[in-house]
């Protein structure tokens, strides 16, 4: 067993490993910044560990990032705060570069849950007040609204099929009556382009602390 170190803080955790022996996870930073009696608000960065080399994957300019999934090509996805912790966006780490995957038009927040070997990414896009979340796929630069009521897409295979959790009719607690699902979606790039051109309207936003608390509870 190997001990993977932290990024200078007192705790770290591993999230996913691929067939190459690479590992992603998260760690708090030197001085345990932000840890005011609770781990929920610690400044945390995603990391990669590659056969003894630990790398801070950074953020989109904010204080917090998380890595959720790692494919066999070494591409990782998750989410990160933007500058000033204003927004939280789905994030792709590939070949040493970090990319902001954005949101559906009109939304403010997003997170990526998984990536397959073809680079297709599944995740969620959230309204600015946090009241609505929609399952999405990022494919070849387009973000596609799946338009189906699946609150927790967990994984995507190389055929583009999605697996996750959903609430069947009459169920409001996934721990009691939730079902697993397998979905084979059609990915209409034309529809995605139309969505991306939609007019954006300002709506109330969650505070960064409230958003980070909800994200920590959801992952």
Q: What secondary structure, in 3-state letters, does the chain show?
A: CCCCCCEEEEEEEEEEECCCCEEEEEEEECCCCCCCCCHHHCCEEEEEEECCEEEEEECEEEEEEEEEEECCCCCEEEEEEEHHHCCEEEEEEECCEEEEEECCCCCCEEEEEEECCCCCEEEEEECCCCCCEEEEEEECCEEEECCCCCCEEEEECCCCCEEEEECCCCCCCHHHHCEEEEECCCCCHHHHHHHHCCCCCCCCCCCHHHHHHHHHHHC
- Average pLDDT, stretch 132-145? 90
Least confident residue range of 56-65, 82-91, 139-148, 204-213 = 204-213
Least confident residue range of 41-50, 149-158, 193-202 = 193-202
pLDDT for the residue numbered 37: 64
Q: Whole-model pTM?
A: 0.80
* pLDDT, the chain, mean: 83
* Distance from the Cα of residue 177 to its chain's centroid: 25
When pLDDT is cut at 50, 70 and 90, the band that residue 169 belongs to is: confident
pLDDT for the residue numbered 201: 36
CATH number, span 8-218 = 2.120.10
When pLDDT is cut at 50, 70 and 90, the band that residue 217 belongs to is: low
Contact (CB, 8 A) for 78 and 49: no
- Average pLDDT, stretch 64-88? 96
């Amino acid at each position: 067993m190997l001990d993977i170190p932290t990024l200078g803080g007192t705790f770290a955790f591993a999230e996913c490993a691929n067939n190459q022996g690479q590992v992603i996870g998260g760690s708090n930073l030197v001085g345990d910044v932000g840890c005011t009696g609770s781990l929920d608000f610690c400044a945390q960065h995603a990391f990669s560990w590659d056969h003894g080399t630990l790398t801070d994957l950074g953020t989109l300019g904010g204080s917090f990032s998380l890595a959720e999934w790692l494919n066999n090509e070494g591409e990782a996805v998750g989410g990160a705060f933007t500058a000033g912790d204003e927004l939280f966006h789905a994030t792709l780490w590939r070949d040493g570069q970090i990319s902001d995957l954005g949101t559906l038009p009109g939304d403010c927040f997003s997170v990526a849950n998984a990536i397959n070997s073809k680079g297709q990414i599944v995740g969620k896009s959230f309204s600015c007040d946090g009241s609505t979340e929609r399952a999405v796929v990022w494919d070849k630069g387009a973000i596609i609204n799946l338009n189906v009521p699946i609150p927790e897409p967990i994984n995507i295979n190389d055929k583009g099929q999605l697996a996750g959790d959903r609430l069947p009719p009459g169920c409001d607690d996934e721990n009691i009556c939730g079902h697993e699902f397998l979905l084979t979606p059609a990915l209409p790039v034309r529809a995605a382009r139309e969505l991306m051109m939609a007019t954006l309207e300002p709506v109330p936003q969650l505070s960064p602390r409230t958003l980070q608390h909800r994200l920590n509870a959801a992952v």
